[in-house]
Amino acid sequence: MPGPKTPLGWLADRHALTPRSLRWASTASLVVSILIVLGGGIVRVTGSGLGCPTWPTCDAASVTPTPALGLHAVIEFSNRMFTVVLCLAVAWVIVAARLQRPRARSITRLAWSQFWLVVANAVAGGISVWTGLNPYVVAFHFVMAMGLLTTTTLTWHRVHERAVTPGELARISTTARALSWILTALTALLIVAGTLVSGSGPHSGDSADVPRMGFDWIDVTIVHGVLGAAVLLTAIALAAVLWRSRAATPLLRTLTLIGVVALQGVVGVVQALTALPELLVAVHLLLAALVWAGTLRVVLDVNPGLFPSVHTRSDGRSARTVGEPLAAHAD
């Protein structure tokens, strides 16, 4: 005997949303998850991390900033409130995914993973405030934000994926697939190394004397730069392999990534040589989010069968082939 339905299950029995709604929802959550990284960067470079000295309230007596707390509290609280926008975007994805006909369970699971990562990020942000911006906690908070970006990127790709013909699949060589995974691993290491650079550098996130990581900033910056060069060279090698095999879509995605990584490298070098100006640091963080999202798009395009894309209709027949758009089988 089936158990009681959830509110979303009850709603899905009575209403359906179009695939277009799901596409817009996944796009919104992806964009906001990128902007939340930028928001955290603005908090860091303006020294507003402890503008609200406690969490979840702004201070012991008020949920919102008080005039006595000044501009730093307004900046920090605004970043917290932007999380509300993220929650709304993720909620839209969850509802839109559940109300599809036929429903793709993998997309519903991805949508709910976004929700739980938003919760985890909020808690990590609170812990970073409680610990007085401990640099390791702040680094973990950033990594968690990139984890959220991972799920929003996967969801976006899953919703927008296109049909892949056998001929296109045949053009993607084993070498290209291997390079795409090497590229992903190197980019992940690059991001982690970036947290060490930030944790050892002058932008602690607050104007007060906040402890820093015990690494030599120049040393970790060199390691970060070497990893960045390795990412760029691997992406170029992947593009060369894809160009020879005439795999058009993955090649275009890889070339776009090369452009973003190159721009990120230029920004990184300039900021290192100009005493880390606040604006460039914020831009560098934004580009880090774009590099990671772009890398994920590359590995997904080079490995189009990475996630199961076949769903079952109510009559038991296959509803979709690898990469076939959801709209093709919408009721």
Q: What pLDDT band is residue 7 in, cutting at 50, 70 and 90?
A: confident
Residue closest to 29 by CA, chosen among 135, 111, 119, 120: 111
- Name the DSSP letter for residue 70: H
> What tens digit of pLDDT does each residue of 229-269 get?
999 999 999 999 999 888 888 899 999 999 999 999 999 99
Element (H, E) at 278: helix 278-302
pLDDT one-digit tens code per residue, 40-74: 989 988 888 888 888 988 888 888 888 888 898 99
Return the pLDDT at 70: 87
Dist CA 311 CA 35 (whole Å):
33
Pick the CATH number of 14-164 from 1.10.10, 1.20.120, 1.20.1440, 1.10.20: 1.20.120
β-sheet bridge partners, residue 206: 48
pLDDT above 90 coverage of the chain, percent: 52
What is the pLDDT at residue 325? 45
Measured CA to CA, the distance from residue 25 to residue 97 in angstroms comes to 9
List the domain boundaries for the chain: 14-164, 170-304
Spatial contact of 8 and 95, defined as CB atoms under 8 Å apart: yes
Token pair of 137, please? Answer: 């906690």
